[in-house]
Structure 1
Amino acid sequence: MYLLLLKNKNIRYYLLGGCISRLGDVLAGMAFLFLAYDMTSSTIHTTSMAIASTAPYLLFGLIGGVIADWLPRKKLLIMLDLARIPLVLSVFLLDQFGILTFAYLLIVSFVIQTMGCFFNPAHRAILPIITKPEQRSVANGLNDTLSRGVTVLSPILSIWLLSYGAIYFFIIDALTYTISVICLIQVHFTEQKQIITKSIKGILLAIADFCVWVKEKTTIKDLFLITFIIVFFNTWVWQVGLLLALNELTANSEEIYSILQGVFGGTVILTNLMLPYFFKKMNLKIYLIGAAIWGVGITYYGLLYQVEHFFIGAVLVGIGLPISSLARVYLIQALVPSEMLGRAFSSNAFLLYLANTISLVVYGALVYLLPIRHLMIGSGFLIMAVSLIGLAVFTIKQAKLSRRSPVNFFK
């Protein structure tokens, strides 16, 4: 199945270029944090650098989707990668001359992440253009597997690079963006020409048009809303709460947390690879089933609250999360017109970052009022409840439609 897919030159270079570019993004993100702390020894400055890597997606995420729909996507991707090469190299060169400042580092980080707001939706929007509908489940699974593999590989690569110094991350970053450009040049496809209104008003109208379109499409609207709710309940208890819980239970919390993330990453990769063998097409029902399993995992390790059970919970989350993630991507590709795909993926990313930010703020306050274990149990239960209620509503609607006529539910 996968070998047959990779015989397609377009898909092969698309996946390779995306994987290499993703590696550059991950390494750049770590490099900016490492250098910020090395230069300032300040947690406030390091936190500011972290904010500089996420704020652009809240500020420009929706605009990036519009531009990704308006401009030729291949040319846009190549231009963005070419622009990132001198930026990351400038950090290295200024450091070598001893004139690199924290302010410059902060600006470059912000600019590179802003470029990602335009790169990511454009890149995502190409996949359904170069694949047939029956190939998308496999292509999405392989794409997500490679991305996940990069996140697993990057810490290992970073340990090797750190022996030379964090500044050398930027040399590898420039190389990854160069390879990405070479791969993108090999991808060939035809795009429909878009009518472009070169004004801020035109951009806002394009965003508004997409919002109106989503409002009329029940499945996409429900998908975005449920995703926002689930990510809100998940972010803190998985990213922060788990580490804090391990601090309460063991003296080796950081080591065990790293191992947990490895177990989680491995489970996600296996799930991604196996899923296309079971589902050639996906729908909202599969998405909700995955979300329910995701919620079961969080509830499980919250209820039992022991180190060994955290590993079982991580496996359950590692099964449920990719099922939901791949189903969500598949639904967006299947239900959103090609000329709106950039806005669809940028809107999805914007909602994810917004949910992440709100979750960290709200739970950061709640942890002073409630035990971590209770927050885990409550969050996992609410994820399950939202998923099961959505599943019940979906089943009822589908039953009503099937009684009326054989209408395509997702039309």
Structure 2
Amino acid sequence: MKERKNLLFYIAGEAISSLGDVMSGLAFLFLAYDLTQSAWYTTLIALAQALPYVFFGLIGGAVADLVDRRRLLVIIDVIRVPIVASAVVLYSFGHLTYGYLVLIGFLLQTLGCFFNPAHRALLPMIASEEKRMVLNSVMDSVTRGIQVLSPFIVTALLAMGHTVYLLLVDACSYIVSAFCISKITLTTVKGSVRNDKVLLSVFKGLIQYIQWLKNQSALLLLYAMTFIVVFLHTWVWQVGLLLALIEHSKHPKEWFSMLEGIYGGVVIAVNIVLPFVWKKLSMTVYVSGAFIWGCGVVLLGFVSEPSFYIVCVVIVAIGVPIAGLSRVYLLQQWLPQDKLGRGFSFNAVLLYIANSASLALFGWLSYYVSVATLMKSCGLIMLVTTGYLLLRFARKTLGVMPNKRLKS
């Protein structure tokens, strides 16, 4: 009974928090463009939200192992409420500036660097081992489900006349999330690691992992492809799509939120179907997913009618989960047990570096090159890179990680 109550509060908190994240993510992009009418400054707001994970992504996980996780989560949620509310108040009185929007975006995501690992680390403390896999699947479905429903909520709020209402929903979501987390009952409140030198250990472990990684050719290729694909995709998806809709639609915000919902729905469907198509995932499957992903990206650069964007988004939504689930599967297969944590952390930080580099470079290029040209270029590079690898795999199967490495 106690476990069931804890899981209900955990899932409810995650659901409302996911809704707030979607609302705030859209609000920051919309407000940035409303305030500046600039593609570069719209990109910069997205960059400001990605950089904290590059700087603090690994540290947040270490902190989560040192403190009372539930208390940390509640405190962070409570701190985030006045930060978001301040933007709502300033906007209402006509004093919200772009600089302040960048500042609070950076602060909120910095807090997220500490909230997210603590929230994930809380799960094993409230769910038995046999229920964790099912719960992880439920959590992913809840997150995707929120993404599907969010366009209806966004459209309704935008119809009320003010983009800032999206931030108001975000502030309320933090209050509900804090309440749900506070209702979770724990028998053990401290993190599993209490060593006051844990941060130093984290950095030493990373150096050791990098030294080990130098000789792992398959993993290096996986990491390299992940960086390239995410680098070429991030600006296109987070900023370029919105800018393209602004050029070709009278209601770009509504179209953007609707496309996000369609994307989430297709991803859910692919996640359900994928295990029936491939029992085992491989590097070839990963690259195939990235190739499909690239097809969707390059097509975005050729369409001008908003309704045709739906086709492109569906193609992207088919490729992304194939590549994403394959990457996770391969990391789990290829990483030794004692290197799993560092392997996934390294992968996460690599993703955020790719995100930041993409937003910075293509945001700057958008001053001189059209959005459509950038989309075509990014998609074409993805197709050439993945196409070359698929041809290479067809001629010669990529070597499998030696058993002795897997058992080391």
> Could you tell me which amino acid in structure 1 is paired with residue 230 of structure 2?
V
Letter in 2 for 1:313: C
Give 2:386's aligned residue.
384
C-alpha deviation, 1:14, in angstroms: 5.0
Distance in 2 (alpha carbons) for counterparts of 1:285 and 1:203: 33
Deviations 1:276-311 (A, max 9, x none): 444565444433332232223334555788766643
Distance 2:100 2:300 in 1: 43
**TM-score, length-scaled by structure 1:** 0.72
- Tell me the CA shift for residue 65 of structure 1: 3.7
Q: Is the 8 A contact 2:234 2:358 kept in 1?
A: yes
The answer to whether the 8 A contact 2:50-2:109 is kept is: yes
Query: How far is the alpha carbon of 1:200 from its aligned partner?
Result: 5.9
1:62 corresponds in structure 2 to 58
Deviations 1:244-290 (A, max 9, x none): 55667x45572655544443232112112333444565444433332
Residue 231 of structure 1 and its aligned partner are, at CA, apart by 0.9
Bigger Cα displacement from structure 2, 343-352 vs 197-206? 197-206
Once residues 83 and 364 of structure 2 are traced to their aligned partners in structure 1, the CA distance between those partners, rounded to angstroms, is 40
TM-score by length of 2: 0.72
Alpha-carbon deviation of 1:111?
Answer: 3.0
What is the one-letter code of the residue matched to 1:384?
A: T
Residues 1:322 and 1:188: Cα distance change in structure 2 (over 3 Å) = farther
CA displacement at 1:321 relative to structure 2: 0.4
Partner of 1:172: 172
Q: Does 1:151 align with 2:147?
A: yes
Matches within 5 A, 1:115-264: 115-124=111-120, 136=133, 141-160=137-156, 163=160, 166=165, 168-182=168-182, 185=184, 193-194=192-193, 196-198=195-197, 201-215=200-214, 217-242=216-241, 250-252=248-250, 254=252, 257-264=256-263
Greater shift, 220-229 or 306-315, is seen at 306-315
> Which among 49, 62, 70 is matched to residue 53 of structure 1?
49
Q: Residue 56 of structure 1: CA displacement? A: 1.0
User: Shift in Å at residue 351 of structure 1?
Assistant: 1.7
Unaligned ranges ≥5, structure 1: 1-6, 402-406
Matches within 5 A, 1:246-285: 250-252=248-250, 254=252, 257-279=256-278, 282-285=281-284
Structure 2 unaligned blocks of 5 or more: none
Query: 1:228: Cα distance to partner?
Result: 0.6
Whether 2:66 is the aligned partner of 1:71: answer yes
> Are positions 1:296 and 2:295 aligned together?
yes
Q: 1:332 to 1:35 in 2, by over 3 A?
A: same
Secondary structure of the residue that 1:396 maps to in structure 2? coil
Is 1:21 the counterpart of 2:17? The answer is yes
Shift in alpha-carbon separation, 1:106–1:369, aligned structure 2, 3 A: closer
Contact 1:231/1:356 (CA < 8 Å) preserved in 2? Answer: yes
Report the CA distance shift for 1:317/1:373 in structure 2 as closer, same or farther (over 3 A): closer
CA spacing shift, 1:286–1:41, aligned 2, 3 Å: closer
Please, which of 70, 81, 87 is the counterpart of residue 88 of structure 1?
A: 81
> Are the counterparts in 1 of residues 334 and 406 from structure 2 also a CA contact under 8 Å?
yes
Contact 2:87–2:101, Cα closer than 8 Å, also in 1 = no
Distance in 2 of aligned mates of 1:246 and 1:106: 23
Q: CA deviation at 1:57?
A: 1.4
**Contact between 1:236 and 1:359, CA under 8 Å: does it hold in 2?**
yes
Partner residue, 1:352 = 351
1:144-167 CA distances to partner (integer Å, 9 max, x unpaired)? Answer: 332222233334334555648636
CA distance in 2, matches of 1:140, 1:96: 37
Provide the residue aligned with 1:4 in structure 2.
Answer: none
d(CA) in 2 for partners of 1:85 and 1:393? Answer: 57
Structure 2: how far apart are the matches of 1:35 and 1:256?
16
- Equivalent residue pairs, number: 392
